[in-house]
Structure 1
Amino acid sequence: MAVEAELLPHPYVMEPEADVVPVLWDANSTKIVVVAPPASTTLTVSTTIPNGHPAEVSALPLLPAGSGKLRHLPKRNPVDIEFHELRYSVKEPGCRQRGKGFKTILKGISGKIQSGDLTAIMGPSGAGKSTLMNILAGYKTRQLSGTVSINGQERDLRSFRKMSAYIMQDDQLLPHITVMEAMMISAHLKMDESLDIEYKRAAVHDIMETLGLIECSNTRTERLSGGQRKRLAIAQELVNNPPVMFFDEPTSGLDSSSCFQCVSLLKYLSKGGRTIVCTIHQPSAKIFEMFDKLYMITSGQCIYDGRTSLVVSFLGSFGLKCPPYHNPSDYLTEVSSGDYGEEIIAKLVIAVSQGACRVFEETHKRSMKDMCTCRETPCRCVARRSPRQGFDVDTVSSATSTFLPQLGDGDIQKPSDGSLVEMNGNGTANGHAGVDTSLLPQCEDSNSVVVTAECHSFATTCLTQFRVLFIRTFKSIIRDTTLTRLRLLSHVVIGVLIGLLYMNIGQDGSKVFFNAGCMFFSMLFLMFTALMPTILTFPLEMNVFVREHLNYWYSLKAYYLSKTLADLPFQIVFPLIYGCIVWWMTAQPSDFYRFTIFLTFAVQTSLVAQSLGLVVGAGLSLQSAVFLGPVTAIPILLFSGFFLSLKMIPQYMQWLSYISYVRYSFEGAMLAVYGFDRGSICQTNQTIEELLEGTNMCYFSDAKSFLDEMGITNTHWWLDFLVLCMFFVVLRVIAYLVLRWKVRSYR
């Protein structure tokens, strides 16, 4: 079929008609771009570009990942972000003089980011791209001056962050849950609780279909490709339809095909009325042309703020001619890096601050309007059906709907009143009417299914957050076969090994010191098996937690409580298994209460050690935590009372023994074996030869004298238990406070 293209200098597709196929045209080139035409469609150009050159026709499937439509998302108002005279400084390390030693990152930059535009923030390394992004997203508020406005009003940071999403450069995902589970968890946490489960499933299905994730819905996230991980990270944030989305280096680590799909997806989202902002480093020419707006900075100053299609012409007006067949983004990087002199950078900074980009864009629009010779009013960029050969309009529309939200059934459209509503095929509102969800701290109708939770801190209650996070954490632990099986196997194998090494030693009074060594090593083993896995795994989960918490998925309290309780059954069962094996193989006293007390201290030691691991893991990086974890165990073991009797510790250092929780664990285990007035521990059936040779000598007549020798006097097992409980509570509270401080440090 032949389709004739009628060209007009308008960058967007206008309202669809029954006999037109949408076409995009770059007014600064000789290229016509038809958005995802049917394979059987060919194009015939009926006119030429206003500059008189013949047009080059190419197809651009801007969303190759999928062809779904976002019908079930809540309605949002579009958001325009404007910032004025932003200045940001950081304190240089090593300088302690008050008021000195500050390095200025941003130097009074201003700009505006409009809804419906895909905006790129570019610049050389160290220019301040990520800093500007973090400020606009509300992540950095200290050492900052200037204003950020939302739709013309001063930004309320708390409300704004509920309506925005930040997708970081590293796609931090929990590895042991599937794509569908990750999406449903996001829906349960970010969508209103009043919505039924079927509505949430439908919304999740729409998003996954649109983003091309249906085929991997049952795949664990650890097995996804880089492009799939990026799309999943975006899909998780889309469930509550944020009007503002920030992306830090979205194409980092992706191949060229995945980069194109990722930016195509962002283009699609922006054309739905969303405000999409990306930092990007040296994109290809193909990727660069897909951005609508460019904000170029160098050394904390802006050298261009305008349409991407006009940047080469703008630089040309300053005598900077981009060489033919040269990537414009590479040329921009060269200019911003000072390859063409610092003087030209200073000129660009002054020109941009005086509004040169805006004036240049308005002048270009007027010149294009004068050159427009189309018949329709207003001008449209469309491809008309050839009168000689017809074609199926629905076929073309379905192909283009993957990119153009204005044309698809149930897609999101931006009407004249500025609200984002759902439209059906005949142009009428589909489903619920649009609701005012402006960024002011107010709510219109708490009973409507499309009202978001701006009135509350989060979209769901703490109880719901805890339930969802508990299930997710428990599933992750169960499915982490490597760590979970290793933990279980280590407790069984080491328990059997200790049992064989100290076989039947518990009733032999001549080997009481060896038996004490068995008890101490048991506490030592339980301490390290609880401490080190926590230190190793918790820092790895921190990035996931920070991303989800700062994007207002859940509260810190809900996360910490679910994390604590989900691992509790495993931290109890494994020490019980070890304790049962060791107690009976070493032939300790068969009294049930002694056995129960020993198991109690075994479990309590494990829980306290895990709490210490949470403190270390929450406050330090993985490398620092792995080093510091074993180091903290050294003083704890030295003052436990085993290597050196408590009464032999110097007087001025004895207070350190009170902060060693292993001391109380060891005391409790020894009391379980030799306490409770056990009486004589010597064997009465020694032979004459053993007595003459001095073998199997019983050095202590009863258990109490041995406890006195070990320095375990005037103590009670329940007192040791209470002290360990206090350690457990205090360390858990400290871990929570450290985690809270860590989150605030990101701001």
Structure 2
Amino acid sequence: MAELLSVHVHIPQKDDIWQLKSQGPGLSRNSSAQQFDNKLKYNLPRKRTLDIEFRDLKYSVKDGHHKKGRKEILKGISGRFKSGELTAIMGPSGAGKSSLMNILAGYRISDIEGDILVKGKTRNLRSFRKYSCYIMQDDHLLPHLSVEEAMMCSANLKLDESMPQADKEKEVHDILETLGLSEHKKTRASNLSGGQRKRLSIALEMVNNPPIMFFDEPTSGLDSSSCFQCISLLKNLAAGGRVIICTIHQPSAKLFMMFDHLYMLTDGEVLYKGGVKQMLPYLKSMGLECPPYNNPADYVMEVAAGDSGEENVHMLMNSVKSGNLDKFLANETVNNSNRSSNTSINTESELGDCIQIDANENTKLLAVSDGNASYIPADDFMTDGQDNSSEIAGDHECHTFNTSCFTQFKILFIRTFMSIMRDATLTRLRLISHLTVGILIGVLYLGIGNEATKVFNNAGCLFFCMLFLMFSALMPTVLTFPMEMTVCVREHLNYWYSLKAYYLAKTMADMPFQIIFPLIYGSIVYWMTSQPSDFMRFVMFLTLLTQTSLVAQSLGLLIGAATSLQVAVFLGPITGIPLLMFSGFFVNFDTIPIYLQWITYMSYISYAFEGVLQAVYGFDREALECEKAAQSPECRYMKSETILTELDVDDAKFYVDFIVLCVFFIVLRVSCYFVLRWRVKAQR
């Protein structure tokens, strides 16, 4: 691990900012900046310069109105984002800024043309993702983990396994102190404010101190105070030598002038790329002057949207293509070389009456205290071939991560298990429902299991057991992957873990509950309904109930992995209808038309029901009780062979049903993993 800096950053709280504002307009910018600087603490090591460059970048998608047509989102744009600078990608809606961000971050890898370079060589996407992070607009966090628990999970997954646990805890403590979250480390993510959630999202990716960071709308949903804190943090991260790139929709003048570099897009083409301080002078030289007291960000957005005329938009685009913008910026750099070395900036006359804020005020805070800081080798980001998108389209091998497969599984298993235990709806409600329904069925069918006159009522009881366990296992699990898909994609994209480890941990953590609940339910029903007092039959009964629950859970996971949340909720119960219709309870096999009989073999409920009937009435069970005379028609079902023949399961074998259910379980689980892998790939 790299040596830590002796200088610390502290994010100012709302009261601190209000105190600065309350001093009135007479307070100079230098004075307020100094007061702000005195509150900053920072202990992240300075990173090696790793500039990102892209040339003639094109991106297109299928046009919904034309089957074979394609719509160009990015139209051959180029640019360079330097380390040590806070870069803003701006543009009107539909300009292509999110697409550009996704492509540069490696989130989007298909239908792309052009070159993406790091240090002048073609980017190696796998290594690039390993040392970069992408923090998305929505703060998708696991709600039932505390700040400290979430951070330790991140540290244990992203930091090297050989690193002592005490060092990881110190790293986490330093980052929480840096981002002003140390007082909330015991608070669950669901109870954090918007600004705290945003800072936690950043903190989770800071544990391995990535030199390249992407932020999609970092100020979205935050108030002005939280926005200032967030951009101040990004400014200081950039000042440490990192590449900080973020899309931003419409910042205030104060926030806008904190950015070092602006990349302005409109309709997939570049309108302006250069320093924020040079933007207004450049627009003025093109005949577009910012009106007095206007927000520069609002003005340039109006220009990009064509409010000042489409001819001006085309003029600015052509200026970029012809190189006039580069010439202007080069001249401005020469003319302002003396001023650029000064870290504080006063209000410039060339910027008119627009509000000014020092764009470099915090760079002086970060100085390396030890020259032995470890850097990521620049060659790790480069390859002599093309961008290896195909290699990372799906999953990666575990050895490419900082932790082994077993360590990833262990950490993710514990994290998922804790979340399940703390989720009152998912755990307590499931337990209560199994207890309540079990007792209700037991009371309804009380003592009928050994009565010959109530054989079909008992068969209905056994079938309802299958029905209840199928839906109680299926419906909650169809939501598992849709609810966490965004978290999974973000963490996998940022190189936390492999999909194999995530899938195994996610499915295995819920399996104990999916076994215990059917056992509780089955035990209540079995003894209250007076089924055979035979321990082996009892075990066989519980085994098939548990298998039914696990297979239904596997089907729910498969549906959830393959579809969206809305589709999964609808498709879950719908898939159960044909399974129940062809289960053998409502219609015998011989009654089903020949061309539909194959569906019976696809219904795992039919095997479960068949096996349960064998467990209860098979294996030479002794005669059932009958209150009337043995010759009475009501007592014709005293012999178990007659019951099995009447229910059309006399030729069934219990071990065959058991094996088939095991095959269903394995096939569905394996299929679910490949569907999940395809889903992650499809999103990219």
**Does residue 60 of structure 2 align to residue 118 of structure 1?**
no
Query: For the residues of structure 2 that align with 1:176 and 1:472, how far apart are their CA atoms?
Result: 10
Give, in angstroms, the shift of residue 722 of structure 1. Answer: 0.4
> Paired residue for 1:69?
42
- The DSSP-based 3-state class of the residue aligned with 1:589 is coil
Count of aligned residue pairs for this structure pair: 642
Partner of 2:106: 138
Structure 1: tracts of 5 or more residues without a match: 1-34, 46-53, 373-377, 384-399, 414-422, 444-452
Q: Does 1:662 align with 2:605?
A: yes
In structure 2, the residue corresponding to 1:664 is in which secondary structure?
helix
CA contact (8 A) 2:480 2:557 kept: no
Q: Post-superposition shift, 1:612? A: 0.3
1:533 pairs with 476, 480, 483, which one? 476
Instruction: Give the equivalent residue in structure 2 for 1:597.
Output: 540
TM-score when normalising by structure 2: 0.89
What is the aligned partner in structure 2 of residue 59 from structure 1?
A: 32
The answer to whether the 8 A contact 1:68-1:207 is kept is no
Alignment match, 2:419? 476
Aligned residue for 1:440, secondary structure, equals helix
Q: Please list every run of 5 or more consecutive structure 2 residues that lacks an aligned counterpart in the other structure.
A: 1-15, 346-357, 384-395
Q: CA deviation at 1:224?
A: 0.6
The residue number in structure 2 matching 1:6 is: none
Letter of the structure 1 residue corresponding to residue 32 of structure 2: A
Residue type of the partner of 1:630?
P
Going from structure 1 to structure 2, the CA distance change for 1:260 and 1:142 (only over 3 Å counts) comes to same
Decide which of 485, 493, 499 is 2:442's aligned counterpart.
499
Residues 63 and 264 in structure 1, CA contact (< 8 A), matched pair in contact too: no
Aligned to 1:607: 550
Displacement of 1:440 after TM fit?
A: 2.5
> What is the match of residue 198 of structure 2?
230
Whether 2:662 is the aligned partner of 1:720: answer: no
Distance, in Å, in 1 between the alignment partners of 2:101 and 2:34 is 29
Cα displacement (A) at 1:140? 1.6
* Pairing 1:292–2:231 present: no
* Contact preservation (8 Å) 1:680, 1:702: yes
Asked whether the 8 Å contact 1:88–1:105 carries over to 2, the reply is yes
Correspondences of 1:724-735 after superposition (within 5 Å): 724-735=661-672
Determine whether 1:367 maps to 2:335: yes
Task: Find out whether 1:350 has 2:318 as its counterpart.
Answer: yes
Alignment counterpart, residue 560 of structure 1, candidates 486, 503, 515: 503
Which residue number corresponds to residue 463 of structure 1?
406
CA distance in 1, matches of 2:35, 2:135: 21
1:473–1:562 CA contact under 8 A, matched in 2: yes
1:65–1:261: 8 Å Cα contact kept in structure 2?
no
Which runs of structure 2 are paired with 1:701-720 in the superposition (5 Å)? 701-720=638-657
TM-score by length of 1: 0.82
Aligned to 1:13: none
The CA deviation string for residues 660-689 of structure 1, in whole angstroms up to 9 with x for no partner, is: 000011111111111111143251x4279x
2:163 match: secondary structure: coil
Matches within 5 A, 1:221-370: 221-369=189-337
Pick from 628, 631, 636 the counterpart of residue 686 of structure 1. Answer: 628
Offset at residue 354 of structure 1 (A): 2.4
Q: Residues of 2 paired with 1:549 and 1:88: CA distance?
A: 23
Equivalent in 127, 130, 150 of residue 95 of structure 2: 127
Larger Rg: 1
Does the 8 Å CA contact 1:63/1:261 hold for their aligned counterparts? no
- More displaced, 499-508 or 344-353? 344-353
Alpha-carbon contact 1:682-1:702 (below 8 Å) kept: no
Map 1:19-58 → 2, pairs under 5 A: none
CA contact (8 A) 1:70 1:203 kept: no
Of residues 440, 458, 468 in structure 1, which corresponds to 2:380? Answer: 440
Secondary structure of 1:103's match?
strand
Look up the equivalent residue of 2:494 and give its one-letter code: N
Using the TM superposition, give the Cα deviation of residue 145 of structure 1 relative to its aligned residue in structure 2, in angstroms.
0.8
Q: Secondary structure at the match of 1:554?
A: coil
Give 1:680's aligned amino acid: A
Tell me, yes or no, if the aligned pair for 2:122 and 2:382 is still in contact at 8 Å.
no
CA gap 1:465/1:218 in 2 versus in 1, 3 angstroms: same
Equivalent-residue separation in structure 2 for 1:718 and 1:531 (angstroms): 24
Counterpart of 1:633 (choices 571, 576, 583) is 576
Name the structure with the higher helix share.
Answer: 2
CA apart distance, 1:154: 1.0
Compared CA separation, residues 359 and 709, structure 1 to 2 (3 A): same
Residues 377-418 of structure 1: CA deviation (Å, up to 9, x unaligned): x964579xxxxxxxxxxxxxxxx9x984654xxx6x4xxxxx
Q: Sequence identity of aligned pairs in percent?
A: 56
Larger CA deviation: 701-710 vs 253-262: 701-710
For residue 192 of structure 1, what is the aligned residue in structure 2? 160
Structure 1 pair 596–132 and aligned structure 2 pair: CA distance change class (3 A) = same
CA contact (8 A) 1:64 1:261 kept: no
Q: Judging changes above 3 Å, is the alpha-carbon distance between structure 1 residues 562 and 119 closer, same or farther for their aligned structure 2 residues? A: same
Tell me the amino acid that sits aligned with residue 729 of structure 1: I
**Residue in structure 1 matched with residue 387 of structure 2 by the alignment:** none
Provide closer, same or farther for how the CA distance between residues 65 and 170 of structure 1 changes in structure 2, counting only shifts above 3 A. Answer: farther
State how far apart, in whole Å, the 2-side matches of 1:283 and 1:598 are: 64
Q: CA deviation at 1:284?
A: 1.1
Deviation at 1:356, TM superposition (A): 2.6
The one-letter code of the counterpart of 2:598 is W
Which residue identity does 2:612 align to in structure 1?
A: A
CA contact (8 A) 1:270 1:276 kept: yes
- Distance between the aligned counterparts of 1:556 and 1:455, measured in 2? 9
Q: Would you say the 8 A contact 1:478–1:484 is kept in 2?
A: yes
The Cα shift of 1:481 comes to 1.8
Work out the CA distance in 1 between the residues paired with 2:528 and 2:94: 63
SS at match of 1:149: strand
What SS does the corresponding residue of 2:108 show, helix, strand or coil? coil
Q: Whole-Å Cα distance in 2 between the matches of residues 379 and 281 of structure 1?
A: 30
SS of the equivalent of 1:567 reads: helix
CA distance in 1: counterparts of 2:373 and 2:65, whole angstroms: 57
Q: Is the 8 Å Cα contact of residues 66 and 210 (structure 1) preserved in structure 2? A: no
Q: Displacement of 1:163 after TM fit?
A: 1.2
SS of 1:252's partner is: coil
Displacement of 1:581 in angstroms is: 0.2
Amino acid at match of 2:516: V
Q: 1:63 to 1:481 in 2, by over 3 A?
A: farther
- The alpha-carbon deviation at position 463 of structure 1 amounts to 1.0
Counterpart residue identity of residue 686, structure 1: K
Q: Distance in 2 between matches of 1:314 and 1:682?
A: 98
RMSD, aligned α-carbons: 2.9
Instruction: Quote the offset at 1:367 in angstroms.
Output: 2.7
Residues 478-503 of structure 1, C-alpha deviation per residue, up to 9 Å, x if partnerless?
11122200000000000000000000
Equivalent in the alignment of 1:202? 170
Counterpart in the other structure of 2:433:
490
Instruction: State the distance in 2 between where 1:515 and 1:494 align.
Output: 16
Residue 169 of structure 1: aligned partner: 137
1:84 is aligned to 2:61: no
Q: What amino acid maps onto 2:60 in structure 1?
A: S
